[in-house]
Structure 1
């Protein structure tokens, strides 16, 4: 987990510097306190998914920009080699399989929801679409005011510019893939 915290911190600092922002300015844009941002940049804090989404939204970058590592011409990834981002205590684990890059405009996440886990996601920008494919279990989603059930082998596509919620109301774990597609240029993401 320490390695992931260091990667997130390094990437946050690089993003902030590229945008020529101070910690104070970043705090105003994201709603995350300056001390917390400093701790994250130094790798001393493991931020929650909600905190990372606030930062990503405020800085207008994709969520997975914080987990990005250098890549080659091809890449094989394995869950056992990825430190997950934890949410809902440890009931939600998000593995960044393929982080966002400017050429492809998408990111692929593998998500595990324990029984009883509920994650509320804030709406994204108008250009963002999400594709959810349930690998195992049953995923319950709320998109705006509509409740949906997606079972193993089923997929859902939706515009993510509305509040949405992922939950596992069953006794078994739920595993799903989330592909987040950003339609416009890098600066107009999230």
Structure 2
């Protein structure tokens, strides 16, 4: 959606941009090592204890944590099982335990210049994602024009409170509470609240498919948490 917007963020958040890694796979090795060390520290496991629980040697675990060894999927599966996490936990830049809590009071919110429309991201916005999930609030009698997205982008919207009129090209659809709609976001579209109370909705935006690509931080951007040895 567009109109002049202001981004309201947590004032304590770090917004410093980080340079990308020159060698993506070196960064990937480092990411796996950082996550392994963090998960091990959270469980207060020594290298010896994790080696006994996983069946992976202490030396191998130490090499993985220091990014001196590329672990096989089989090795990662053994370690993940011992730590009670999924293999994907070693590749995340967030949510190493498989989930991430996003407190409402600390979330950012995009607000229109007149304050009559806002969108709150319900996903970690610091990480690339194939889908976006937002909570929308639209003031009474306000119309918010949508930003046309890349061809192939789809929006799925459901009204949680009030009513909304969704316009796509010259077609209009009135949605009551609980109603949902799916439309192509590369078309001209807008949202209008015809009621006399604030309307709320949840919007999922599925981005156009792009070729898969590793997105990993540079090694020096990752902070290693001390773990017992």
What is the TM-score with the length of structure 1 in the denominator?
0.59
Shift of residue 181, structure 1, vs aligned partner: 0.3
Q: 1-side partners of 2:142 and 2:121: how far apart?
A: 19
Q: CA RMSD in A?
A: 2.6
- SS of match in other structure, 2:10: helix
Match of 2:200 among 164, 175, 181: 175
Matched ranges for 1:115-134 at <5 A: 115-134=140-159
* 1:71 maps onto 2:94 in alignment: yes
**1:92 aligns to what?**
117
Q: 2-side partners of 1:143 and 1:171: how far apart?
A: 23
Larger Rg: 2
Q: 1-side partners of 2:196 and 2:177: how far apart?
A: 15
Shift of residue 3, structure 1, vs aligned partner: 3.2
Q: Answer whether contact 2:151 2:208 (CA < 8 A) is retained.
A: no
Q: Larger RCO: Structure 1 or Structure 2 (Cα < 8 Å, ≥ 6 residues apart)?
A: 2
Worse-superposed segment, 122-131 or 70-79: 70-79
**2:86 aligns to what?**
none
Q: Answer whether contact 1:88 1:119 (CA < 8 A) is retained.
A: no
What is the TM-score with the length of structure 2 in the denominator?
0.50
Instruction: Give deviations 1:63-95, integer Å, cap 9, x for gaps.
Output: xxxxxxx63130233433313110151111110
Q: Answer whether contact 2:9 2:107 (CA < 8 A) is retained.
A: no
**1:3 aligns to what?**
10
CA 1:75–1:5: 2 relative to 1, 3 Å: closer
Q: Answer whether contact 1:109 1:179 (CA < 8 A) is retained.
A: yes
Shift of residue 171, structure 1, vs aligned partner: 0.4
**1:108 aligns to what?**
133
Shift of residue 159, structure 1, vs aligned partner: 1.0
Q: Answer whether contact 1:105 1:186 (CA < 8 A) is retained.
A: no
Q: 2-side partners of 1:132 and 1:2: how far apart?
A: 24
CA 1:174–1:186: 2 relative to 1, 3 Å: farther
CA 1:168–1:74: 2 relative to 1, 3 Å: same
- SS of match in other structure, 2:111: strand
Q: Answer whether contact 2:155 2:206 (CA < 8 A) is retained.
A: yes
Q: 1-side partners of 2:211 and 2:11: how far apart?
A: 23
Q: Answer whether contact 2:9 2:109 (CA < 8 A) is retained.
A: no
Q: Answer whether contact 1:132 1:179 (CA < 8 A) is retained.
A: yes
* Higher relative strand content: 1
Q: Answer whether contact 1:131 1:156 (CA < 8 A) is retained.
A: yes
